[in-house]
A = this chain, B = another copy of it.
């Protein structure tokens, strides 16, 4: 019933139109692949096939792109079903948050150091707080539980994504063989803090803190 579109470009779309969506997606990819320092309007322009200045037609500044990325990420976070127990819900939040951070370590760093006080972020935080209130904790205790579990969560992810084992190195690192020889206990850290152990290690502290607040 509908007319077939007559003129469709036969090969690869050469110069797609810019959209906020395209800019955000490409910005995150740029940060993932080349790091936050390489995220310049000029580099982003190159990836988008336009001049740096074209981006300003969609975002008033580079900072606004990062802001939009935060909301894109937090807004896309799955909210665990309310029928689950508070502890189960918190575990689900932790799981999604970790699942996001791992493939996006450089953006995760950025998001961690900035306030989540946009409308989207506030809504997201309120959902997490709800788990503590739902468990029957009085307001002050619920808030403390939220903070303490949050500390742990933040620190664990930072260490997994960019901490001792993964962050930018010192310019004069102690050579691995010297560490092995003189600081075997430090050398062991790298063998214990591997992807295969992260879940288990994380869970141990997480469970201890949940118990401290009588959840589970």
Contacts and interface: CB of A to CB of B under 8 A. Distances in A.
Interface of A: 63-64, 67, 70, 109, 112-119, 121-123, 125-126, 129-130, 133, 139-140, 142-144, 146-148, 150-156, 158-159, 162-174, 179, 183, 185-186, 188-189, 192-193, 201-202, 204-205, 208-209, 211-212
A172 B193 CA distance: 38
| Count of chain copies | 2
Contact of A172 (B118, B148, B183): B118
Contacts of A150: 155, 159, 163-164
Contacts of A204: 144, 148, 212
A9 to B, nearest CB: 37
Given A125-B183, A126-B186, A151-B202, 20 more contacts: A113-B162, A113-B168, A114-B167, A114-B170, A115-B163, A115-B164, A115-B165, A115-B173, A117-B170, A117-B174, A122-B174, A122-B186, A144-B201, A147-B192, A151-B156, A153-B155, A154-B158, A154-B163, A205-B209, A208-B212
